[in-house]
């Protein structure tokens, strides 16, 4: 609630609005009700609602001149009362002594001065008492405020302590959950690593077994190939030996020359012509024919019996 003060000039402006819009019957009825309410109030104890005053002004401005003549008069709102002056907090001091007459005697003057001095002492004592009381009251108020603040601080500290305890419990629970989750993740990773190692070992074992089998197969194939070549070589040598036994050294050298054979005499390589001449000049020479790795015939000629190694 608030008291609205309307100046006389403003009231006159409200009453003398030039152009009006006619209000409805309901609005006129509402205006009469509000205006009658405030017109019946005592001017000394009038309390005006701001929204009522705004509504009254709106309805009054909307009414026509004929409607205003038949309606309640616009309420006159008195100015708000002035605030009451607060009594000064003055001490109850003793009154000063009456003034000294001009024709006073010395004894009266002395007595007057003594009374005046006594009054001043009483005044100072009273002022000191009042000041002490005020200081004491101020200290008590400050102590009360301090005690209140201390109590509020203690309550806040207690509340903060409880909150901190709750936060610690919540943090402990969260940490416990995190550790549990980490432990589960670590366990899962460990299991995954173990499984990975196992699969890797199995794969390595399979690769090694496959490599071993391939190596064995290659060795077998190589052995079979060597055996086949050796058999072929032995067959050719047998054929050469059989033919050689039926022919002379000269004929054998000629036949080997036709096959582009290599000739060796006493371990040294010689030409086919020299080999043929040696065979013709020395029919008793020892001649041994072997096949090389490239199946090229090698003819060894010597005066002594010939011992040829298998890999020659």
pLDDT given for residue 46 in this prediction: 81
- Using DSSP's 3-state secondary structure scheme, residue 246 falls into coil
* CA–CA separation, 249 and 263 (whole Å): 13
Give me the half-sphere count of Cα atoms (radius 13 Å) on the Cβ side of residue 238: 6
What does the mean pLDDT of the chain come to?
Answer: 82
pLDDT given for residue 6 in this prediction: 53
Show the low-confidence residues of the chain (pLDDT under 50). Answer: 1-3, 15-20, 85-88, 246
pLDDT given for residue 195 in this prediction: 92
* Backbone φ, ψ for residue 16 (5° rounding): -110, 45
Q: Please state, in angstroms and as integers, the Cα–Cα distance from residue 229 to each residue in 143, 218, 280, following that order.
A: 123, 16, 34
- Number of Cβ atoms within 10 Å of the Cβ of 299: 25
- Chain mean position to CA 59: 63
pLDDT given for residue 90 in this prediction: 55
Q: pTM for the complete prediction?
A: 0.26
* CA–CA separation, 61 and 16 (whole Å): 9
DSSP state of 301: E
- Number of Cβ atoms within 10 Å of the Cβ of 275: 26
* CA–CA separation, 77 and 55 (whole Å): 15
Strand order in the sheet with 268-270: 268-270, 262-265, 297-302, 286-291
Q: Where are the domains of the chain?
A: 23-76, 245-302
Question: Is residue 297 within 8 Å of 261, Cβ to Cβ?
Answer: yes
pLDDT given for residue 273 in this prediction: 87
pLDDT in tens, 71-87: 999 988 777 666 554 44
pLDDT in tens, 98-133: 666 666 788 888 888 888 888 888 888 988 988 898
């Amino acid at each position: 609630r608030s008291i609205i003060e309307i100046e006389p000039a403003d009231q006159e402006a409200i009453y003398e609005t030039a152009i009006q819009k006619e209000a409805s019957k309901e609005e006129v009825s509402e205006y009469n009700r509000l205006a009658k309410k405030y017109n019946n109030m005592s001017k000394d104890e009038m309390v005006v609602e701001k929204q009522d005053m705004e509504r009254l002004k709106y309805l009054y401005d909307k009414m026509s001149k004929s409607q205003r003549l038949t309606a309640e008069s616009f309420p006159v709102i008195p100015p708000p009362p002035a605030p009451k002056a607060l009594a000064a907090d003055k001490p109850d001091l003793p009154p000063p002594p009456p003034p000294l007459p001009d024709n006073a005697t010395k004894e009266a003057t002395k007595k007057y001065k003594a009374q005046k001095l006594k009054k001043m002492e009483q005044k100072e004592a009273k002022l000191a008492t009042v000041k002490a009381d005020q200081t004491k009251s101020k200290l008590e108020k400050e102590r009360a405020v301090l005690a209140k603040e201390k109590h509020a601080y203690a309550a806040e500290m207690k509340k903060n302590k409880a909150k901190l305890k709750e936060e610690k419990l919540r943090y402990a629970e969260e940490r416990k959950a995190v550790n549990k989750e980490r432990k589960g993740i670590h366990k899962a990773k460990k299991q995954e690593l173990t499984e990975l190692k196992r699969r890797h070992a199995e794969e390595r074992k399979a690769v090694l077994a496959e490599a071993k089998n391939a190596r064995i197969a290659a060795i077998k194939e190589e052995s079979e190939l060597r055996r086949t070549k050796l058999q072929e070589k032995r067959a050719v040598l047998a054929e050469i030996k059989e033919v050689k036994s039926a022919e002379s050294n000269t004929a054998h050298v000629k036949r080997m020359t036709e096959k582009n054979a290599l000739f060796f005499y006493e371990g040294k390589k010689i030409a086919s012509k020299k080999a043929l001449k040696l065979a013709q000049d020395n029919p008793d020479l020892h001649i041994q024919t072997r096949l090389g790795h490239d199946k090229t015939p090698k003819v060894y000629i010597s005066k002594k019996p010939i011992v040829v190694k298998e890999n020659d």
